[in-house]
Amino acid sequence: TSTQQALAYRERILAAVPEDSNFQPLMTLYLTDNTSPLEIARAREAGHIQACKLYPAGATTNSDHGVTALSTIFPVLDAMQAHGLVLCVHGEVTDPGIDIFDREAVFIERVL
């Protein structure tokens, strides 16, 4: 997700919220192998993006464009830390040899 896409989505959400509501959506970016540190800086400067979501590629529904290897996004993670953005992790390995009920535990052991 780009900052521009997240902000456009925020506007669509706000357009559907009743006028007397004080609801404020907390917007996020979906990290991919192509997310750049510059995009992280744009997200922070925009003022409405609070976090980035890390989905391992293929780990869950609609995660085909997720991160293929954590090392791919190390510069992005550094930028997130520098700009104070939260990292939300869907921690799960996609190894077909790992039982589906063990995939989160193996993610912690292997990836983190």
By residue range, what is the domain housing residue 67? Answer: 3-110
**pLDDT > 90? residue 57:** no
DSSP character string of 10-65: HHHHHHHS-TT------EEEE--TT--HHHHHHHHHHS-EEEEEE-BTTSSTT-TT
Average pLDDT of the segment spanning 10-35: 96
**pLDDT > 90? residue 15:** yes
Average pLDDT, the chain: 94
**How many domains is the chain built from?**
1
Tokens of 100: 């589906």
Report which secondary-structure segment, H or E, holds 110.
helix 103-110
* Residue-level pLDDT at 1: 83
pLDDT tens, residue by residue, 66-86 = 899 999 999 999 999 999 999
pTM exceeds 0.85, yes or no:
yes
Pairing of strands 27-30, 86-89: unpaired
**pLDDT > 80? residue 62:** no
